Amino acid sequence: MKTYGAVLRDAGSDYEIVELEVGDPGPGEVLVEMAFAGLCHSDVHLRQANAGGRYPIVGGHEGSGTVLAVGAGVDRVQPGDHVITSFLPACGHCRWCAAGRSNLCDVGATIATGQLPTGTWPFTLDGEALGGYCMVGAFARHTLLSEYSCVRIEPWVPMDTAALLSCSVPTGWGSAVYAGGVKPGDTVVVVGAGGVGVNAVQGAAHAGAQHVIAVDPVAFKRDFAMTVGATHTAEDTRTAADLAHQLSWGVGADVVVVTTGELDAETTKGAVRCVGKGGTLVLTALAGVATETTLSLLGNPITVFEQRIQGSLFGGCNPFRDIPRLLRMHQEGSLELDSLITRRYSLEELRQGYADQAAGETIRGLLVHG
């Protein structure tokens, strides 16, 4: 079928709206009509370079939609179902899924190219086969997914806020709860209070942190963080480090979560200053994929203070366990989603949405299809 979507033709190019051909679903595949897509900073990284992937590629990975058709053998969803797209597929059977670490599922090996686990390329552009970012391609009105990337939700669930559960909410929330292991009474610092960071703030608060310090140079984001669980804010990591030591009676932060738009050496150095004895540094932010980023850390304090550095992919969440859990929390009033959506954009306004994000004017921009 024919559809429209936003495509990157090469590194450094802008998103271009084009007509695409979407294939029919084969075995294990699902055809979805997208309703909403979140504007995630990872799709900015995709503009810079597609490490391990290729161009052209359809952007977008955080979204929600309706199943139109399914291929042979698909039993997780059926036509008419509402789904949230998981940017990390989970097969449930590989070594990592079996060990409870489905965010590292082997089926996700081709998320950079967008080729589905079946070997199918979901889109065709001018006769050339191409993939959707993270096997999703949420910036297209219609997309072909693996059933491993579809999390079914009830039809009464609003699909706009549900879209955020595809990436930003579990990534941030899990970075505090799972990767950071925040415990009651902890002092937590979250560096970067954007779409992922404010959910790390929510996660830290849910886990019982005594103090949650949100760090961001943008006053709007700091103010917003205070509405979802932050107890204190700071403009920079130096101020946050002083505050963390003061609040913890000289110990420092138990957990520091880095959720900035891009990971760089200076930000990491500042985050390390906040980490206390026995503390954990969680790196959720991604470095710019166009260049390698080297992080230099002092070895002796890490050794003698038994500090831990923990990478975090999708916050360590399992999409089929945690997306429904977080959705239930929202429905029962303990997780904020609605106010995370700052502005809504049409497909034609996608560039403006990312310009607003770069200017620090949004927590989450939402692309509205149709």
Its sign, for the CA torsion 9, 15, 20, 22, is positive
Asked if the model's pLDDT at residue 29 lies above 70, the reply is: yes
d(CA 234, CA 244): 10
Among candidate residues 215, 233, 280, the one with its CA nearest the CA of residue 254: 280
User: Which tokens is 268 given?
Assistant: 């990491």
d(CA 5, CA 80): 22
- Reported as a single tens digit per residue, the pLDDT across 272-306 is 999 999 999 999 998 765 555 667 777 778 888 88
d(CA 31, CA 281): 40
In a domain, residue 144? The reply is yes
Alpha helices in the chain (DSSP H): 42-48, 95-98, 159-163, 168-174, 197-206, 219-227, 237-247, 265-274, 299-304, 319-331, 350-358
Among candidate residues 129, 45, 25, the one with its CA nearest the CA of residue 87: 45
The percent of residues above 90 in pLDDT, for the chain, comes to 86
Give the pLDDT mean for 299-328: 92
Q: Are residues 127 and 10 both part of a single domain?
A: yes
List, in sequence order, every beta strand (DSSP E) within the chain: 2-8, 16-22, 29-38, 57-58, 63-70, 82-85, 123-125, 128-132, 142-146, 150-153, 187-191, 211-215, 232-234, 253-258, 275-283, 308-311, 341-345, 364-368
Longest C-alpha distance within the chain, in Å? 64
Q: Are residues 161 and 176 both part of a single domain?
A: no
**Total count of domains within the chain:** 2
Angle at 32 between CA 31 and CA 36, to 5 degrees: 160
What pLDDT score was predicted for residue 48? Answer: 79
What pLDDT score was predicted for residue 138? Answer: 97
- Amino acid found at 257: V
Asked if the model's pLDDT at residue 11 lies above 90, the reply is: no
What pLDDT score was predicted for residue 291? Answer: 53
Q: Are residues 23 and 147 both part of a single domain?
A: yes
For residue 199, the enclosing domain spans: 172-313
Helix axes 197-206, 219-227, angle to 10 degrees: 30
CATH of the domain at 50: 3.90.180.10
User: Which tokens is 55 given?
Assistant: 């161009």
In a domain, residue 330? The reply is no
Q: Are residues 154 and 281 both part of a single domain?
A: no
Give the pLDDT mean for 262-270: 88
Q: Are residues 98 and 230 both part of a single domain?
A: no
- Amino acid found at 2: K
Q: Are residues 348 and 296 both part of a single domain?
A: no
In a domain, residue 322? The reply is no
CATH of the domain at 224: 3.40.50.720
Are the C-beta atoms of 12 and 47 separated by less than 8 Å? yes
Q: How confident is the model at residue 169 (pLDDT cuts 50, 70, 90)?
A: very high
The residues with which 34 forms a beta bridge, in sequence order, are 65
Number of Cβ within 10 Å of residue 361's Cβ equals: 14
Q: Could you give the C-alpha distances from 84 to 89, 147, 323, in angstroms and in order?
A: 12, 11, 9
- Reported as a single tens digit per residue, the pLDDT across 93-142 is 999 999 999 999 999 999 989 999 999 999 999 999 999 999 999 999 99
Q: Are residues 96 and 193 both part of a single domain?
A: no
Q: Are residues 135 and 188 both part of a single domain?
A: no
In a domain, residue 321? The reply is no
Q: Are residues 361 and 242 both part of a single domain?
A: no
What pLDDT score was predicted for residue 293? Answer: 64
Q: How confident is the model at residue 203 (pLDDT cuts 50, 70, 90)?
A: very high
What pLDDT score was predicted for residue 301? Answer: 81
Q: How confident is the model at residue 233 (pLDDT cuts 50, 70, 90)?
A: very high
The whole-model pTM stands at 0.94
Give the pLDDT mean for 196-222: 98
What pLDDT score was predicted for residue 257? Answer: 98
**Which secondary-structure segment (H or E) carries 212?**
strand 211-215
Are the C-beta atoms of 233 and 222 separated by less than 8 Å? yes
Q: Are residues 148 and 190 both part of a single domain?
A: no
SS3 220: helix
Q: Are residues 144 and 20 both part of a single domain?
A: yes
Give the pLDDT mean for 30-48: 92
In a domain, residue 327? The reply is no
- Reported as a single tens digit per residue, the pLDDT across 155-165 is 999 999 999 99
In a domain, residue 331? The reply is no
In a domain, residue 250? The reply is yes
Q: How confident is the model at residue 70 (pLDDT cuts 50, 70, 90)?
A: very high
Q: Are residues 253 and 288 both part of a single domain?
A: yes
CA dihedral 216, 38, 335, 278 (to 10 degrees): -50
In a domain, residue 240? The reply is yes
What pLDDT score was predicted for residue 106? Answer: 94
Span of 9-13, 171-175, 325-329 with lowest mean pLDDT: 9-13
What pLDDT score was predicted for residue 50? Answer: 74
